[in-house]
């Protein structure tokens, strides 16, 4: 009799513990879903993949919209390169087999040159491209 009573208490305690773990999970998910319905950009930030190799970037021209956040995903196809865009305050190292993410929200329209700032060989000085920010 006493044992049955104890088991009943234990199962109630466990049910409460389970509810406490599951409810925040569910409500967190609901909040995230309703946020993405109200503001699609909160859930979806545009990603632009850029590859680097001796002695060029692909793509060489990147078009962005003023005030719209993007993530640049940089990777190298051969060796260590740099990615420096002084006009937008961006600098990163790019390695083969690794993705370097740079988050950026351009605030001013214009053309911003970027280049490799890690010496990579005879064509290093010409390794560059443009980020074009449009209104």
Q: Which of 49, 52, 64 is nearest to 116 (CA)?
A: 52
Q: How far apart are CA 75 and CA 80, in angstroms?
A: 9
Among 15-23, 29-37, 57-65, 117-125, which window interacts with Cu ion (CB under 5 A)?
A: 117-125
Cα-to-chain-centroid distance, residue 111: 23
Q: Which is nearer to Cu ion, 65 or 80 (CB)?
A: 80
Among 28-36, 40-48, 95-103, 122-130, which window interacts with Cu ion (CB under 5 A)?
A: 122-130
Asked if residue 120 binds Cu ion (CB under 5 A), the reply is yes
At closest approach, how far in Å is the CB of 104 from Cu ion?
A: 21
Q: Which is nearer to Cu ion, 65 or 84 (CB)?
A: 84
Task: Give the number of other Cβ atoms within 10 Å of residue 11's Cβ.
Answer: 10
Backbone angles phi, psi at 55, to 5 degrees: -125, 60
At closest approach, how far in Å is the CB of 77 from Cu ion?
A: 13
Asked if residue 54 binds Cu ion (CB under 5 A), the reply is no
CB 85 within 8 A of CB 114: yes
Q: How far apart are CA 5 and CA 80, in angstroms?
A: 68
At closest approach, how far in Å is the CB of 78 from Cu ion?
A: 11
Fill in the DSSP letter of residue 122.
T
Asked if residue 74 binds Cu ion (CB under 5 A), the reply is no
- Applying the rule CB under 5 A, the residues between 97 and 116 that interact with Cu ion are 116
Site residues for Cu ion per CB under 5 A: 116, 120, 124, 127
């Amino acid at each position: 009799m006493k044992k049955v009573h104890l088991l009943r208490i234990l199962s109630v305690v466990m049910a409460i513990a389970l509810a406490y773990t599951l409810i925040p999970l569910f409500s967190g998910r609901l909040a995230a879903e309703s946020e993405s319905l109200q503001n699609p950009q909160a859930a979806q930030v545009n990603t632009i993949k850029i590859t680097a190799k001796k002695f060029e970037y692909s793509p060489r021209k990147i078009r962005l919209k003023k005030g719209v956040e993007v993530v640049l995903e940089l990777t190298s196809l051969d060796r260590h390169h740099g990615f420096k865009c002084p006009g937008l305050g961006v600098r990163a190292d790019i390695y083969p087999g690794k993705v370097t993410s740079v988050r950026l929200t351009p605030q001013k329209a214009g053309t911003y040159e970027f280049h490799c700032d890690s010496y990579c060989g005879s064509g290093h000085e010409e390794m560059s491209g443009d980020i074009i920010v449009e209104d």
